[in-house]
């Protein structure tokens, strides 16, 4: 018994990317089925998806309210404007040991500050929440350092321990608030 195979007809239509109409593609989004090129494709665990479908899924995770951004700014500002003079005077007077303390404590302080901000906004997540919080933290550090300068003639941000502490705390707070 022989089986005859017939040649397949060229019935394939040429697809063009929905975002770049001049690019031919054979790839489709596995959620909406729209044709996408490799520049528009995002690799997920279940296959390639278009950026619009990815954004649609991610929007379910971000539930921050409009007033959460100013709250994050004000809480970050308030906590750091109070903490900067205390930490700055303490670390600035310890010299090399201040650097060691800053290395060990800076990240923990940033995580604690991020948790305070997260609780202040009701554990809601927003795309821009961390940027508002970072702006408040940086402004709070500058204002707190200015208060120390006016009261004692010592500018804490010029000390290496305080710079190390601030950079570690900012980096950690940014990463904790990103999630």
Tell me whether residue 24 is in a domain: yes
Tell me whether residue 6 is in a domain: no
26 shares its domain with 88 = no
Domain count along the chain: 2
pTM of the model: 0.75
81 shares its domain with 41 = no
For residue 117, give the nearest of 60, 58, 64 by alpha carbon. Answer: 64
Q: How many residues does the chain have?
A: 179
108 shares its domain with 49 = no
Tell me whether residue 7 is in a domain: no
Tell me whether residue 133 is in a domain: yes
* Per-residue tens of pLDDT for the chain, all 179 residues: 556 665 555 566 888 999 999 999 989 999 999 999 999 899 999 999 999 999 888 888 888 898 999 999 999 999 999 999 999 888 878 888 989 999 999 999 999 999 999 999 999 998 899 999 999 999 999 999 898 888 888 777 788 898 999 999 999 999 999 87
**Structural domain ending residue among the three candidates 6, 25, 59:** 59
Q: Is 34 left (phi over 0), alpha (psi -120 to 50) or beta?
A: beta
Segments forming the whole domain that contains residue 20: 15-59
CA angle in degrees (0–180, nearest 5) for 154-158-161: 100
Tell me whether residue 110 is in a domain: yes
């Amino acid at each position: 018994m022989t089986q005859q195979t017939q040649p397949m007809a060229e019935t394939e239509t040429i697809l063009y990317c929905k975002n770049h109409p001049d690019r031919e593609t054979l790839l489709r989004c596995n959620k909406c089925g729209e044709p996408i090129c490799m520049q528009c494709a995002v690799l997920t665990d279940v296959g390639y998806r278009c950026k619009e479908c990815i954004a649609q899924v991610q929007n379910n995770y971000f539930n921050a309210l409009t007033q959460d951004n100013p709250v994050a700014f004000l809480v970050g500002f308030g906590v750091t404007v109070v903490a900067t003079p205390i930490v700055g005077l303490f670390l600035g007077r310890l010299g090399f040991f201040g650097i060691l303390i800053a290395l060990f404590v800076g990240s923990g302080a940033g995580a604690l500050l991020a948790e305070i901000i997260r609780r202040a906004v009701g554990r809601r997540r927003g795309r821009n929440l961390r940027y508002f919080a970072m702006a408040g933290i940086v402004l709070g550090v500058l204002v707190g350092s200015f208060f120390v300068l006016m009261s004692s003639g010592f500018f804490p941000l010029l000390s290496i321990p305080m710079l190390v502490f601030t950079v570690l705390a900012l980096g950690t707070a940014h990463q904790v608030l990103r999630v």
